[in-house]
Amino acid sequence: MSDDIQNAYLKRAINELSALNDEIADVAAHSGDSALPVLSSGSPQAEILMVKWSASIAERQEGVAFFGRAGSAILKSVQRLGLDPLTLYGTLCVKSEGAGFHEDWLAREIHIVRPTLIVPMGEPALAAVNQLGFPGSTPLEWLPGEVQRWTPASEAIVVPDIDESLDEQHAKRAFWSAFRALGDWHLAQPPY
């Protein structure tokens, strides 16, 4: 019985994300942006939702969030922390340069996925998450690596932008110092 319920929730999430992606593609096509929109990646029922402001060149070329160097760095980091990559969902605030930031799209993704942890990457992504005015949310502060209560049902860990952290050693250390809090957070979750 519980498998049937779980499958029904998964099917609903897939359908809702598919409809949202169709809407994003339609708006992007009519925005004058010749590039593909960059759509999310990961599980539609992820425990952890990562959000960064905009796409890298590799992400724009493939049309997939967290593709390329950023995705590889995240994958290595979560494996090092003992997290299952299938518990992640990655998205962007700006999915199409021509369409700009649509806060409704990000809010809908969060509502559909229902993560227990949101990870804004960089100050622009943090500002976007705070701008959502998500029901029951408390504004997040720029406190990299600290667990903060975001809504009654979810927490947040703010980290530096992964794209800005890949090329300089000090920036890599700052990112890793904040990001490794995900491992401690995950270990503290009840085992169900």
Domain-embedded: residue 192: no
Number of domains making up the chain: 1
Digit-coded pLDDT (tens) for 68-109? 999 999 999 999 999 999 999 999 999 988 888 999 999 999
Burial class (CB in 10 A: 0-12, 13-18, 19+), 170: exposed
Residue 155 is part of which domain span? 2-187
Q: What is the CATH number of the domain that holds 114?
A: 3.40.470.10
Digit-coded pLDDT (tens) for 96-107? 888 889 999 999
Domain-embedded: residue 93: yes
Q: Give which of 137, 85, 143 is closest to 111, Cα–Cα.
A: 137
Which residues have a Cβ under 8 Å from the Cβ of 139 and sit 6 or more positions away? 130
**What is each CA distance from 65 to 53, 59, 70, 77, 94, in whole angstroms?**
11, 6, 9, 17, 10
